[in-house]
Every structure is written in C-alpha cells, then in structure tokens.
Structure 1
Amino acid sequence: MQNTYQNRHGTFYIRLFVPKILHPHVTRTKFVQSLRTKDRKLAYLRSLQISIDFESWVADMTKKLGGDGFRELTVTLPDGVKIDFDLSLAEERSAYEDTIEKIGVFKQPAIALRDVSTDGARYRLTDLFHSYKVAKEKTFAEATRAAYFPRIEKFIEYHQAKGIIFIDEIRKPQASDYREVVIQSQDSPLTVDNYTKTLKGFFDYSIDAGKYPFENPFANMHLVKKSEREKHTDSWLPYSNEEIQLLFVKEFEAYVKRFDKPDLFFAPIISLTTGMRVDEIAQLQVSDVYQVNGTWVFDINDNGDDKEVKTPASIRKMPLCTGVLMTNFLEYHSLVKRKYGETALLFPYLTKTASNGYAKNIGYNWTQYKKKLIVVDQSQKNFHSLRKTIGARMVDMEYDLPLRKRILGHSMSGDITQTVYGKKYELEYIRSCLDKINWEISFIKFQFQFKNDRVLDGLVNKKAINERRKTIKAGSQK
C-alpha cells in the first residue's frame, strides 16, 4: 500500500502530498488521515478510494490554474499486477472505478479535501478539548481524567498567551518548544514523558476526528527509552519519614474515619510493609492467604481469568510481616472465608474496572486522604509511593539488590549471575528482613471495627444488585 503507515497502536493511516505546482495555492501541503482500521486488507481498500478522491481533486485544481491536469495513479492489485490510470481522462477514471469496485472497495464519502484547500475549515483548541473531554468522560477513570485534563488545559493556555488558538498552528517546532517548558518545570524525565504522552493522545484524538491534517507533533518525543523506563520509576517518589508519621500516626483518627471499608483500611498497611502493588492486593482471593510451614503468606498469582500480574516476576509469595499480623487482618480473613468461601475475593464487594482492575477505589481514596495532609504533586506521590517507600528503606538498610527485587517482584532477567547462581530466599528469611524495618508505627492500634458478622452484607449485596442491573441493561441494548 503506497503512502500508508501504521501508528504504534496498529491503526493504518494514509499520507498524501500536494504537488509542488499547487503549493502557492494551498494552506497545507500534506494530508494525513486515519483509515480507522488495523486490518491490512481493509486498509488497502480504503486507501484506494481515498487516493482516487485526492487525485481527482489534484487534477481539477491543476486545470483551474491553467495546467494540463495530467495525473497518473498506479494501482497494485492483490495478484501483484500494476495498472496505471490517467485520472484526467473520463474513460480512464471510469476504468479505475470499475477496477477498484471489482476488488471489493466499498464506496465511502468523499474525503474532506477542503483540509488542504485555501478555504479549509479550522478548529479551535478549546473546542477540540471540550469534545475530547466529553469523549473520554466514560472511558477514562477519574484518576486518569484528573491527571490528563489539567495537562492539556495548561498546554492550551500556554499557546493562547502566544496568540495561537487553532490546532493547525501547532507543528513539531511548537510541540518541541512546549516540551522544553515542561522539562524546566519537572524534575523527572518520566514525568515529562507522561505530559508528552497525554498531549500525543489529545492530538491522536484530533487526527482520528479529521480535525488535524498533519502527523502527530508529539510522536516519538520520549526522553526515556522504553527499555530504560524501569530505571526511571523514581518519578513516583517515596514518602519521607515525617510524611509516614503524619499519614499513619499523627492523623490516626482521620485514617480510621476515612477508610471505613476493609480494603481501604488494610491495603495501605500491606503495601507499606510488604511492597505489594495495589492491584496485587485488591485482586487477592481468600485462598491466596494461607500458611507455609507456619508462616502466613500472600500468594500473588494470575490463576483464573479474573487476575492479572504486571510481569512473570510478579508471581511470588510474600510473608505477612509482624506489622500486618498485629492488626486484626487475619480475623477479617477468617470472617470472609466463613461467610463467602475460599474462592471469594478477599474484599468480595469490589468490582473490576477495565482501566484499574479491582484497585480503583483504593487508589482514589488514598489520594483524597493524602491530599488533605501533605502538599505534593499528584504525579509524584500516590498510593504507589508506599511501595517506593519500602524500596527506599531497603536501600538505606543496604539489602542486596536480588533480595529487593525478590520482595518487590522485579525481574531478574537482566542479572545473569543472579539468575543462574542466585540462591532462593526462604519465606522466613524474607519476613525477618521486612520486620527489621522500623516504621515507628504502633500497628496494634489498627483494628478494623467489624461490629458483627454482617458487616459486609450490605456491600456485597450492593455489588450483586449493580451487576444484575448491568446484565439487564446489556441485554436490552442487544
């Protein structure tokens, strides 16, 4: 397929160039449009139809300007045969249309060639942002919207201050200049890349909507290579000792009041003391908490269709350290096991979402709690920072890198020596290492108030009702 390419998501695009003879008479010399498919055959057929519309426009424009209107289009058929057509001749244009019809091209609406003409429509950044927010309102999680939308707003405000109000005024140089502004205001290269990713998504949306006729100006702007991104995860900063004291000790009453559900109450303690990811905690089943030779463990796995792990190295067993055992977590575990069985979720009222798994409410509530107590950029400190905090503590205590990787579930694939010769860490040894970390927190105070065995009934019933409603709604839409 000539003049076509795939973006990193696999979607095909067509790129067409206006002949130099027409450059003085147009506002855009290049036209880029999504073919709205990842299927190569369908993209091939659509590109043919768009090509004839474009070439016809070129021929008409050339004639109006006094040229001969001669313009050839070469079509390569599926069997490899190439046919040249002079689209300025009516009979050859008819033959071309007959040819593409025979190989299965369906007739599409003519391409919006005004985008490359002098009277082309122009689109305001603010209008596109409004439609973008409407489109993403239901597909983005609340936390994602809270992170993405302000970045785009800042981008638009920056360019409005420079007198730029239309999206077609933003090209690669303007995008590059803005990234430099972000670099100056952000400490982490990964945070800068997150800004770039957000703005690239906004322009992808505009391109797909047919409102931006150029290549995405924020494409291929990463400061950090994909292979090196793990090295830069320090964009999530650990909490300081003072912040940990504030979050878990000095504001204990606020903690208990805010986190009135078991997942919200126990998850921060588990993550802080074991380094487990929030989604690893939220998707635990009752059967994933058990004893191995007298040591209680969390079994982090991807057993079943309802579980996911970040990498193969994430599959591991983590001992419950003394801090967790001092709470009434095991009492809670026993309650859920008795009422809902071993195959139930540890937090049986949680509902899985497409973007955040079972962990959406945990992350959101922690962020809201944290925001009232400490002032920090949301993109730098969040629930994941609890995991970063224990990682930093282990570095301070000079724990070996392989041990830290084993606890945090990081891959050993790049460490040949450890992969081949490294020892296996026993659960009891891992627990003793975790217990040596002094958090200066009285974990025994963290006792979730069950009141009675029916504490979860309302939450579980509400989940069942909502799931039935979704099933009925889905059936009515078919």
Structure 2
Amino acid sequence: MANPSAYIQSSVHHVYYFRIRVPLHLQTQLQQTYIRRSLQTKCRRQAVIRCSELLQQTDVLFDCADLKVADISTIQWGYEKVDKASKAAFLLSTKEPSQTIKASSAPLLSAVLSEYFVAQRLEGVGERTIRTKLGVANLLYQIIGDVPVDKYSRAMMQTFKSTALKLPPRLNQLEGISIEDAIAQAKTTISVITFNNYVKDLSTVFTFAARAGYCERNPFDGLKVKLKVKVSSLRSRFNQDDVDTIFSTDIHTQSAKAPKDYQYWLPLLGLYTGARLNELSQLYRSDIIVVNGIDCLHIQAVNAGQRLKSPSSERLIPIHSKLKALGFLDFVSSPKEKSKLRLFPELSYHKHHGYSATPSKWFARHRALTGLSESTEKKDFHSFRHTLADDLKQQGVAESHIAGILGHSTGGITFGRYGKDYTPEALAPVIEMLGWNLPMVVKYISFL
C-alpha cells in the first residue's frame, strides 16, 4: 500500500479529502478518472486513518475490476473474508466514508503503546529505551497513521519499509518536517542496522498486542532486511595501535592531574572491564567493594540515578592489577574524594542518558583529536566491550565467562535458571588475561 498522506487533500474549508487516480486501463470500465471522497474531518491524523481504510477499499475495487470477478464476495481480502461487493460499490457511490468504513473493536496503536510502556517500566526497562521506541512509533504514525492495532496489514508494513529506508539518520531531527521533505532533503539514508532496529522495536509492541488479544499476528514478523555481513563486523574493536593512540594525550601521559577525573579513568575502566559507559559513569564509591579478598566493581542499580540495561547486567567485575598499579583504589579511597558519594560527581544526570551524556560527547571529541574518527570503521566507547570480548575469545576463554564479565545472559536454562553468577574468584584470572601494553600511561595523582 502506498503512503496514505499522498492521497490526502485539503479543501478551502480545511476539510480533508481522499483523492486517487483510477488506472488508465480501468477508467472506461469504472467511468471515472479520479475517485474523490470527503474524509469528514479537519484533523490530519484522523484523515490519515480514514485514508488508510479507503486505500484498502480502492485496492479491492481495482482488483475486482481488473479481474472482472463475478462473485467478488468470496475473494480473500487481508486476513478475513469481507463483502467486497459492498466495499467496491461504496467507492462509486455518494455515501460518506464514516457510514461505510468498518469499525474495529481493537484499540488504536497509541492506546496499546500506553499499556506497553507501563508494562515495560514495571519490568525495569529504562526511560531512554522507552523514548527510543516511542520515537519509532511516531515514525510509524507519520508514514501509515495511528489506526486500530488489528488493521495494520502486511502491505502497510511494506510501505513503512520502503519509506523508512529512504529517510536520513536520526529520528529526532525529523520533528517539524514532513516525511516527504525529509526524504527529499536526505543526503544519506539510514543504515540497514538502524532499520532493523526499528523493526525490532515495533515488533515487540505488536507481539505485546497479540498476546493481549488485540490482534492476531505481528505484521512486522520477517520484515527485517537480511545482512550480507557478519554481525560481529558491524562495530569494530580497538587494536593495539588504537589503544596507544587513545592513551597518548597529556591526560594519560603527564604526571599531573587530568582536567577531569572521568577523562582519565573512564577509558581505562572501559578497556579493563568492558562495562558500558553509563554503568561506569554512574558508579558510587560504595560500588567498589572487596568480595572474598578480591577487589571488584559492583555494577548495580541501588543508588539514586543508577539503572541497568537488563537484570543480567548486575554483576561483579574483578579489578585488573593494571588499574590498581595506576592508582585506581587510591583514587577511590583518597581523603580528598572520600566525602563524595559518587565516583565521578562532576558528571550531571540526564533523564534520558543517565550520567553518560557528558563523557560520551567528550570521548567523541577525544577520538577526533587523536585521529581515530577519520577511520571508516565504527569505533566509539562501546568498542571497548567488543575489544574485551574479542581479546578473551581469541585466547580461548569460554563464552559464559565473557558473558559473566559483560553482563550478558547465557540464554540456556541450565545456567540461566539454575546456575548462579560467576564468583570473583572464577573471573579474576580471566580479567588478568587482558594484557594491554600501556607503558606511556602514568600513575594518576588524585590528591595533589
């Protein structure tokens, strides 16, 4: 199905109309060049919803006229058998759409989303993730419309797919601009990965709706674009040259205090723990603990402003001996800093990005300063996770041990239900296998 917005017109009285050209080879048979009907609304969103219904009906009309079907009421339309004769007749009559469009008992997608996000919050899903999904849902509204959840057809999803793949990156930049203008102005388009993420987000919504009994199936099922490359190649790891470059500036090579504590420690913690940027940025001093004689980072969400991506993200990560040699434990317990609850109190909280907004922007600038941004490969702070995972994988470490460090679920029922988290004693030898050569990095002086 085409984009409903392309078939909507506004009258001088600001009432929206549906208008579609009859295919040339059917104009004689139907005795019309155009089909035009009032949508009986001045609300564009409502007009899009009604236009979507009329597009389905015109598809019926044109198919029946093209095939010259006698008993058209027996033809399958969408996912149910309907009286096609009456729907086709409507388009050639003078009846108004509100009198003939079949009502749906299912709620609008916007109403389902409200229920879905309540359930997501109860499950502990972060506001940033919810905001991302809402942005994708708004994109679906713009392309297809906010219609009853059981009325989204496979044809509509194909329209969504073909349109979305023409859009420029970054959904938040589409506010205040039409889809058509965004496509016309696009210098680059979203990647296949981004589109597949849209499909994944919307698929979870429709799966929720199907389980709630609002619709029979998920129309996004199987809509993803197949990748021609390995998933592991989509984000690059850091090699030794990259690591040397990252830690080559005055922040890490001069025997003086760095401009900000986080600028010195976060890259090092990322390299030797593989933790997510926000997990590290939100650390409290009380999260650095000793368990069974082993110094650990406790990645958790018990203090103000802390949050986890998933329940499996809570974990203990043994602190690498290199971090200790560089003075990390001294920094944590220094008299000057000990009165501060958070490890990096200079980082402010952002309602959507937690404490990672500032260090994320800083690391992007730092990467550009060192020349890494000139690489065509995708390398950012998250690459530290890929670096740790690949380094340990190449050394033959079991996937379950790497998952224990990174906070990934192992997926199997044996480990997932019956097995407990790895103890620090089990993970400490694995962490020590990270043997990065950083001779240029000097010990941090945190209490000058």
Which TM bucket (shorter chain)? 0.5 to 0.7
Q: Report the counterpart of residue 166 of structure 1 in structure 2.
A: none
- Within the candidate set 198, 220, 224, 2:169 is matched to 198
Write the mapping of 1:58-457 to structure 2, written as runs, cut at 5 A: 70-74=94-98, 198=169, 205-207=176-178, 222-223=195-196, 226=200, 232=231, 234-248=233-247, 251=248, 253=250, 255-256=252-253, 259-335=258-334, 339-340=338-339, 344-375=341-372, 376-377=374-375, 380-412=378-410, 414-420=411-417, 422=419, 424-442=421-439, 445-451=442-448
- What does the per-residue CA deviation read over 1:140-168, in whole Å, with 9 as the maximum and x for residues that have no partner? 9xxx9xxxxxxxxxxxxxxxxxxxxxxxx
Compute the displacement of 1:366 (Å).
Answer: 2.0
Compute the displacement of 1:338 (Å).
Answer: 6.1
With over 3 angstroms needed to count, the CA separation of the structure-2 counterparts of 1:355 and 1:377, relative to structure 1, is: farther
- What does the per-residue CA deviation read over 1:215-263, in whole Å, with 9 as the maximum and x for residues that have no partner? xx9899835763999x836422111122212323xx2535456942111
With over 3 angstroms needed to count, the CA separation of the structure-2 counterparts of 1:366 and 1:73, relative to structure 1, is: closer
With over 3 angstroms needed to count, the CA separation of the structure-2 counterparts of 1:264 and 1:315, relative to structure 1, is: same
Compute the displacement of 1:401 (Å).
Answer: 0.6
- What does the per-residue CA deviation read over 1:74-116, in whole Å, with 9 as the maximum and x for residues that have no partner? 3599x999xxxxxxxxxxxxxxxxxxxxxxxxxxxxxxxxxxx
SS at match of 1:280: helix
- What does the per-residue CA deviation read over 1:18-40, in whole Å, with 9 as the maximum and x for residues that have no partner? 255799679x9999x9979xxxx
With over 3 angstroms needed to count, the CA separation of the structure-2 counterparts of 1:176 and 1:399, relative to structure 1, is: same
Partner amino acid, structure 1, of 2:309:
K
Partner amino acid, structure 1, of 2:330:
E
SS at match of 1:296: strand
Alpha-carbon distance between aligned partners in 2 of 1:196 and 1:416, rounded to the nearest angstrom: 41
Compute the displacement of 1:4 (Å).
Answer: 10
Alpha-carbon distance between aligned partners in 2 of 1:437 and 1:406, rounded to the nearest angstrom: 15
- On the 8 A contact 1:269/1:324 being kept in 2, the answer is yes
Alpha-carbon distance between aligned partners in 1 of 2:401 and 2:49, rounded to the nearest angstrom: 59
Alpha-carbon distance between aligned partners in 1 of 2:319 and 2:365, rounded to the nearest angstrom: 27
- On the 8 A contact 1:280/1:300 being kept in 2, the answer is yes
Compute the displacement of 1:415 (Å).
Answer: 2.4
Compute the displacement of 1:295 (Å).
Answer: 1.2
Partner amino acid, structure 2, of 1:441:
L
Alpha-carbon distance between aligned partners in 2 of 1:204 and 1:233, rounded to the nearest angstrom: 33
Mind listing any 5+ residue stretches in structure 2 that lack a counterpart? 6-15, 55-91, 106-127, 133-157, 204-223
- On the 8 A contact 1:262/1:448 being kept in 2, the answer is no
Alpha-carbon distance between aligned partners in 1 of 2:343 and 2:317, rounded to the nearest angstrom: 16
SS at match of 1:372: helix
- On the 8 A contact 1:275/1:390 being kept in 2, the answer is yes
With over 3 angstroms needed to count, the CA separation of the structure-2 counterparts of 1:415 and 1:395, relative to structure 1, is: same
- On the 8 A contact 1:265/1:448 being kept in 2, the answer is no
- On the 8 A contact 1:200/1:219 being kept in 2, the answer is no
Q: Report the counterpart of residue 144 of structure 2 in structure 1.
A: none
Alpha-carbon distance between aligned partners in 2 of 1:338 and 1:219, rounded to the nearest angstrom: 44
- On the 8 A contact 2:38/2:96 being kept in 1, the answer is no
Q: Report the counterpart of residue 153 of structure 1 in structure 2.
A: none
Compute the displacement of 1:50 (Å).
Answer: 8.8
Compute the displacement of 1:71 (Å).
Answer: 3.5
- On the 8 A contact 1:247/1:255 being kept in 2, the answer is no
- On the 8 A contact 1:271/1:278 being kept in 2, the answer is yes
Partner amino acid, structure 1, of 2:98:
T
Taking structure 1 as the reference length, the TM-score comes to 0.51
Taking structure 2 as the reference length, the TM-score comes to 0.54
- On the 8 A contact 1:393/1:437 being kept in 2, the answer is yes
- On the 8 A contact 2:251/2:259 being kept in 1, the answer is no
Compute the displacement of 1:202 (Å).
Answer: 5.1
Compute the displacement of 1:417 (Å).
Answer: 4.0
Partner amino acid, structure 1, of 2:415:
Q
- On the 8 A contact 1:363/1:383 being kept in 2, the answer is yes
- What does the per-residue CA deviation read over 1:259-315, in whole Å, with 9 as the maximum and x for residues that have no partner? 421111111111101111110011011211121122111111111451111111111
Compute the displacement of 1:431 (Å).
Answer: 1.4
User: RMSD in angstroms over aligned alpha carbons?
Assistant: 5.1
Alpha-carbon distance between aligned partners in 1 of 2:252 and 2:402, rounded to the nearest angstrom: 29
Alpha-carbon distance between aligned partners in 2 of 1:48 and 1:442, rounded to the nearest angstrom: 63
Alpha-carbon distance between aligned partners in 2 of 1:34 and 1:409, rounded to the nearest angstrom: 51
SS at match of 2:329: helix
SS at match of 2:290: strand
- What does the per-residue CA deviation read over 1:417-439, in whole Å, with 9 as the maximum and x for residues that have no partner? 43256575220231111112210
- What does the per-residue CA deviation read over 1:303-350, in whole Å, with 9 as the maximum and x for residues that have no partner? 145111111111111111101111222222113786525xx2111221
Q: Report the counterpart of residue 57 of structure 2 in structure 1.
A: none
